[in-house]
Amino acid sequence: MGSLRFILALLVVGSHLGAFGGATFAVKAFFIISGFYMTLVIDTRYHKLSVWSFYASRLLRLLPLYWVVGALTLIAECLLVPPGQMMSKMASPIFYASSLDLGSLPIPILIYAGVSDTTMFGLDTGQWLGFNRFSGELSLAPDFGPDAMSVMAISPVPQGWSVGLELLFYLIAPFIVRRSLWFLASLCALSLALRIVLMAAGFFGDPWNRTLFASELVYFLLGVLAYRLYLQLPRFNFSPRMELGLAAMVLGVAIIYWPIDHVIRGSLIWETVPYILVAVGMPFLFRLTKNISLDANIGELSYPIYMVHNLVIGLILWSPLNTAPFVGTGRPRYVLTIALVIAAAFLLDRLVALPIDRLRVRFGAQKRIEDQRPGARTWAYQMIRRM
């Protein structure tokens, strides 16, 4: 499913560039993928190991890259951006942090901001919770109070808010993903019920329809159920053509979603259909691609792409590339930016993620494909051990 992860990451990049939409769909689809993979690795590997090994492996997978990109963002803003100006609309941590009155903010607010911006735990709350820059008084979206600030605004990697939600799921995953279908169905029902209650109470639309963990939990659980379906596939005699079609359906939904996003937006039923299709087709896509090393290598770039793209966008804005005649505007600019994002992601994967993955072996993760003897193990086994 590496190609799917790669496509979803590019949907986020394109959305933030204004080239095309699909970021919300991509994030929710990533939640489904996380549910699938975490259930797979807990069921096949980590249930034999300490839960702390699972936690350590996940944190080593996610946090170092966040820290490196965050540090590079702060350095870039210090060196390239004049005081009082924004590096970019999406990531200008120094610009926003400079307006805080740290001396008057309550200690709990300082701790909340510090933990959120260094670990991504709680960073998702920045979508809907604000605090006064001087007094720390809290307020809710969309009618934030005067002089409101959020932990996302002062984060050097604000898109990490979705990873903050994933971290919450990882906390509970070892205790729920192997439970009965009735238990999982009940959690799905509770998650959906909460969303309906919130809508009835007036909390609908952005950010309430995409950033609350309890109501987003249903997407992780769809991934858990997709893995349960994957386990049952040998019992069914699907023809190769049907399996290929169902696998292709997932990629097709991801590719065509953003052109029709404006058509189905606002309809809870129609907005839900694409995610159900992704969950249903995911077991077939995994079965089709699990032994393809190229697909795995492409998928390794998805997280670096997601983490680094706002930094690259900011660097382009404050570099000679922003005025070079060959860049221009519109499609040429989008193509160049996406190409540079992919190149930066590749470097991060080689220089940061790969060495960290070698460290993660101590906590039950498997070596990357690059460190395996040719033909020693299938990619599926490598992915199970690594995750």
Q: Which of residues 121, 155, 189 is at a domain's end?
A: 155
Tokens of 368: 């990357």
Q: Which of residues 155, 172, 194 is at a domain's end?
A: 155
Q: For residue 207, is it within any domain?
A: yes
Note down the domain range covering 334.
2-78+160-386
Tokens of 231: 């386990």
| 141 and 34 in a common domain | no
> For the chain, how long is the longest CA-to-CA vector?
67
Asked if 307 and 13 touch (Cβ cutoff 8 Å), the reply is: no
Average pLDDT over residues 235-247: 83
- 307-333: per-residue pLDDT in tens? 999 999 999 988 877 765 555 566 778
| 215 and 134 in a common domain | no
| 173 and 120 in a common domain | no
| 193 and 138 in a common domain | no
Asked if 372 and 357 touch (Cβ cutoff 8 Å), the reply is: no
Q: For residue 84, is it within any domain?
A: no
Q: Which of residues 155, 173, 188 is at a domain's end?
A: 155
| 72 and 140 in a common domain | no
Q: For residue 216, is it within any domain?
A: yes
pTM of this prediction exceeds 0.85: yes
- 150-192: per-residue pLDDT in tens? 999 999 999 999 999 999 999 999 999 999 999 999 999 999 9
Average pLDDT over residues 200-219: 89
What whole-number distance in Å separates Cα of residue 242 and Cα of residue 93?
Answer: 49
Tokens of 1: 């499913």
| 291 and 193 in a common domain | yes
> What's the structural domain count of the chain?
2
| 240 and 190 in a common domain | yes
- 260-276: per-residue pLDDT in tens? 555 455 555 667 788 88
| 302 and 254 in a common domain | yes
| 168 and 134 in a common domain | no
Q: Which residues of 77-90 are buried (b: 16+ CB within 10 A; e: fewer)?
A: beeebeeeeebbeb
- Taking alpha carbons only, the member of 144, 158, 141, 152 closest to residue 198 is 141
What whole-number distance in Å separates Cα of residue 151 and Cα of residue 154?
Answer: 5
| 260 and 298 in a common domain | yes
